[in-house]
Structure 1
Amino acid sequence: MEIILDKKNSTEGLIKIRLTEGDYQPHVEEKLKDYSRKANIKGFRQGKVPTGVIKKMFGKSILVDEINHLLSHKLSDYIKDNKLRILGEPLPNQEKAAGIDWDTQRDFEFEYQIGMVEDFSYDLSSKVKVQGYSITVDEKVIDETIADLKNRFGTMTYPEAAGSDDNLTGELRAKEGDFKKEYAFLQVAKVNKKEQARFVGVKKDEEVEFEVSKLFAEEGLTGQLLGIPAEEAKNAKGTYIFKVTNISHNEPAAVNTELFDRVFGPGVVTTEADFIEKVKETIGENYKRESEHFLDHHIEDYYLDNTKIEMPAEFLKTWLKSTSNGQVTDDVLAKEFDAYARGLKWDLVKNKIAEDKQVTVESEEVREKAKEMILAQFGGQQFAAQLGDRMDAIADNYLQSENGQNFMRLYNQLRGEKIMKLIKENITVQEKKVSVEEFKKIVEEHKH
């Protein structure tokens, strides 16, 4: 047997495997004997079928199976032994394989196209500086959140005539043209003050005519009403007619024990001051998660921009198309390949960091993560107390479900968290204090 790597360049190559009869024939003979012992063929006693008969009936398929089995193992061993960092899977030369004469050939040559990346370096030190944000929750955000909670847990009524704080649902159509929307929703309070008079006092089944460009100060609200993107809504013009089918009024909930219990659970908060503090704490926790997530993106961007890895782009495109059962086309690649390659490059960086720094995840850690997740879904520690010793069995059952995919999902999540934690501990995160509004603006600008 001979295995040769023919490198076309630093990212693509061919692995050639040459087999002689001595490489595969002992395996074929052993399999023929095994078939002979087990075969149940009419005219012969079981276990007494001559090897020649078995060879005539099954010889070619046994030969093909054994060679494919041998190739698979030798190819995998060669890649592992030579520490080749390959991407995707080796692609067999189908044209060359199709030309094999299995009846007469004794020596065989197979080719596998591979895509690979050479070893690369990365910087994991305090020299790496990444911007992070610490979000300050101000009074305005707290007031807005409490107002939202009061509305969410308020009481709904259905007045006969619309007031300035009421909501309208109905049918929307353009006065000229074919535009029609069967279900439209409009909050009178968000309509421009000069236009609100059109809607105040309107009753069910009545119609309101208006110029859409004058209705709202924000393009986003115009887009929501018309069902189009905010960018398109900037240029929206024309006269529209809103036919009212329903009027609703939400009476905000009072700030009292009933609201406290509905928001945070019975007995968690007992005074208005504690309620406000708890709201502030919850907002802070939520935005801390968002800022951490945003920091993760900044770290990813840094390493993608500052780690030199030459990718086998053409091989990857060929591999994706050939293994997708027709789902990946040239059009799909044109739209999505850059994002795919970017994700693959980030995986390479993370995996090398994990390999170099010996980041590991133990099975018990995965089980504990599963238990935490289950408890979070079903009521926390109170639920754990009810289950007692059965918690481990429930977690194990979850991890074994879906053919072990749940285990792998949590394993990869934990591994990713450990890698990111390691990176943050070694680089310099430059924290900047910002308000909620400033943070939202920064995130929005980053998207563009």
Structure 2
Amino acid sequence: MEITLNKTNNTEGLIKIKLTEGDYQPHVEEKVKDYAKKANIKGFRQGKVPSGVIRKMFGKSILVDEINHLLSHKLSDYIKENNLKIIGDPLPNQEQANSIDWDTQKDFEFEYQIGMVEDFNYEISKNVKVQGYKISVDNKVLEDTLSDLKKRFGKVSYPESVEFGDNIFGDLRSKEGDFKKEHAFIASEKIAPGEQSKFIGKKKEDEVEFEVNSLFADPKELDMLLGDSIPDAKGTYVLKINTISRTEPAALDQELFDRVFGKDAVTTEEAFINKVKETIGENYERETNHFLEHHIEDAFLNHTHINIPDSFLKNWLKVSSNGQVTDDVLNKEYNDYVRGLKWDLIKNKIADDNSIKVEAEEVRNKAKDLIIAQFGGQAFAEQLKDRMDAIADNYLQSENGQNFMKLFNQLKNEKVLTHIKNNITIEEKQVTVDEFRKIVEEHTH
């Protein structure tokens, strides 16, 4: 057997494998004997079928299977032994393979096109500076959150007539045209000030006429009312009121504290407000951390040069997708795919260089945390304490092991990003919620 690599450039090459009869024939003969022992062929006792009969009936398929099996292992071994950093999978020369005469040919030659990644360098040091943000929980945000909680957990009543702040439910239709919507919902506090008087004081079964594009100050509210099917609604609409609901805000008392955070988690108004503020901060921290990771990705991609075998990669994506990836798809999505590929290559190299590993027990513990969170928290964990390992193992083995790999990759990604954050300079800036929202909206890769 002879295996050679011909590099056409630094990122693409051709692996050639030459086989002689002595390379594959012993494997073929072993398989023929195995067939002879197991074959159930009319006219012969099981286990007594002559090898010549087996060769005549199954010889070609045995030969093809054994050569393909041999090629697969030798190709994989060659790539590992020569530390070739390949992208995708080797692509066989199909035209060459189709020209093989399996009936008479004794020696064979196979070609595989490969794409490779050159070794590259990245920088992790305090000289690498990335912008981060910290959202301040100001009094307005706190007051809005407390107001929302009191309303969400408040007492609901169903009055006879509409007052400001009530929710209005009814059947909506256009006066001209065929638009109709049952169970429409309008929050009276969202109605534009100039339109409020049309609704205040109205009762069940009353009909309210209004110019639809003047109803709300915020256009998003109109989209929610009508749906995406009518992007430029105009004209007069009519709402027939079916139900009016009013929520009396909950008091800042123990009942509210328990409903929001669990029984006796907090027992005073001051502790409740501090807990709300802490929770808001944690939620904002998740948002800013996610955005920080986008900036880290940008920084490394912008300052790390990686040569990608574009020609091979595009061909491999089309061949391996069973027709799902076309030239049109590549034109639209290839740059995003390469961006993700490069970021994965950088993270994997950082992990290798810094011996960042994920142990199986860490994956199992992560699975248990997910299961506990999904099925009711620590109370659930206590009930099934002795069975949690088995439940987690069953979850990780399902989906053909995909659940394991998903959590494994998630943990590895978290460890790599933690390593990066600990070793670069994050220039944190204090911003308000509105400022942060604007920054996120304007951000592009």
Does 1:417 find its partner at 2:411?
Answer: no
CA deviation after TM superposition for structure 1 residue 236, in Å: 5.3
1:442 corresponds to: 439
Aligned to 2:142: 142
- Is residue 22 from structure 1 mapped to residue 22 from structure 2 by the alignment? yes
Say whether residues 1:362 and 2:359 are aligned partners: yes
Q: Which amino acid aligns with 1:158?
A: Y
Cross-structure match for 2:293: 296
Q: What amino acid sits opposite 2:117 in the alignment?
A: V
Please name the residue that 1:155 is paired with: 155
Greater Cα shift, 169-178 or 158-167: 169-178
The equivalent of 2:101 in structure 1 is 101
Query: What is the alpha-carbon distance in structure 1 between the residues aligned to residue 17 and residue 351 of structure 2?
Result: 32
* Letter paired with 2:122: Y
> Structure 1 residues 387 and 44 mapped into 2: Cα distance closer, same or farther (>3 Å)?
closer
Given residue 80 of structure 1, which amino acid in structure 2 is its aligned partner?
K
Residues 225-240 of structure 1 aligned to structure 2 (within 5 Å): 225-228=225-228, 237-240=234-237
Residue 349 of structure 1: how far off its partner (Å)? 0.8
CA distance 1:349–1:187, change in 2 (3 Å): same
Q: Does 1:244 align with 2:241?
A: yes
Secondary structure at 2:198's aligned position in 1?
Answer: coil
State the shift of 1:332 in Å: 3.1
Structure 1 position 179, deviation (Å): 4.2
Q: Report the CA distance shift for 1:181/1:68 in structure 2 as closer, same or farther (over 3 A).
A: same
Alignment partner of 1:313 is 2:296: no
Q: Distance in 1 between matches of 2:151 and 2:374?
A: 26
Aligned to 2:59: 59
Residue 363 of structure 1 aligns with an amino acid whose one-letter code is A
5+ long unaligned stretches in structure 2: none
Structure 2: distance between partners of 1:159 and 1:16? 83
Q: CA deviation at 1:220?
A: 1.8
C-alpha deviation, 1:51, in angstroms: 1.5
Please state how far the C-alpha of 1:436 moved relative to its aligned partner: 2.3
Which whole-Å CA distance do the structure 2 matches of 1:344 and 1:257 have between them? 52
The alpha-carbon deviation at position 96 of structure 1 amounts to 2.0
TM-score w.r.t. the length of structure 2 is 0.93
Q: Which amino acid aligns with 1:74?
A: K
In 1, the alpha carbon distance for the partners of 2:219 and 2:251 equals: 33
By how many angstroms is 1:392 displaced? 3.0
Q: Which residue of 1 aligns with 2:196?
A: 196
* In structure 1, C-alpha distance between the alignment counterparts of 2:358 and 2:59, rounded to whole Å: 47
Deviation at 1:259, TM superposition (A): 0.7
Task: Please state how far the C-alpha of 1:382 moved relative to its aligned partner.
Answer: 4.4
Alignment partners' CA distance in 1, 2:243 and 2:253: 30
Q: Which moved more, 1:115-124 or 1:178-187?
A: 178-187
Quick one: distance in 2 between partners of 1:245 and 1:86? 65
> Per the alignment, do residues 314 and 259 of structure 1 end up closer, same or farther by CA in structure 2, a change over 3 Å counting?
same
Instruction: Write the distance in 1 (CA, Å) between the matches of 2:299 and 2:133.
Output: 16
Rounded to whole Å, the distance in 1 between the matches of 2:249 and 2:51 is: 88
Q: CA deviation at 1:88?
A: 1.6
Whole-angstrom distance in 2 between the partners of 1:329 and 1:196: 54
Name the TM-score, length of structure 1 as normaliser: 0.92
The amino acid across from 1:357 in the alignment is N
Report 1:216-365 matches (<5 A): 216-228=216-228, 237-365=234-362
Q: 2:371 aligns with which of 368, 371, 374?
A: 374
- TM-superposed deviation, 1:285: 1.2
* Superposed CA offset, 1:230-288 (max 9, x none): xx96x654433333333222222222111111000011111111111110111111111
Q: Distance in 1 between matches of 2:429 and 2:294?
A: 16
SS in 2 for 1:223: helix
Secondary structure at 2:5's aligned position in 1?
Answer: strand
2:113 and 2:248 map into 1 onto residues whose CA distance is 68
Distance 1:316 1:183, change over 3 A: farther
What secondary structure does 1:197 align onto?
Answer: helix
Distance in 1 (alpha carbons) for counterparts of 2:387 and 2:434: 46
Q: Classify the secondary structure of the residue corresponding to 1:42.
A: coil
- In angstroms, what is the RMSD of aligned CA positions? 2.3
Q: 1:273 to 1:323 in 2, by over 3 A?
A: same
Cα separation, 2, equivalents of 1:187 and 1:160:
16
Q: Which moved more, 1:140-149 or 1:162-171?
A: 162-171
Q: Report the Cα distance in structure 2 between the residues aligned to 1:183 and 1:382, rounded to whole angstroms.
A: 39
After superposition, what is the alpha-carbon deviation per residue over 1:75-126, rounded to whole angstroms, capped at 9, x for unaligned? 1112212222222212222222122111111122222222222111111111
Identity across the alignment (%): 68
Letter in 1 for 2:281: G
Instruction: For structure 1, list consecutive stretches of 5 or more residues without a partner in the other structure.
Output: none
Partner of 2:11: 11
Q: CA distance change for structure 1 residues 182 and 378 in 2, over 3 Å: closer, same or farther?
A: closer
Q: Which moved more, 1:319-328 or 1:357-366?
A: 319-328
Return the letter of the residue paired with 2:410. Answer: Q
**CA apart distance, 1:381:** 4.1
**Larger CA deviation: 242-251 vs 386-395:** 386-395
Q: CA deviation at 1:48?
A: 2.8
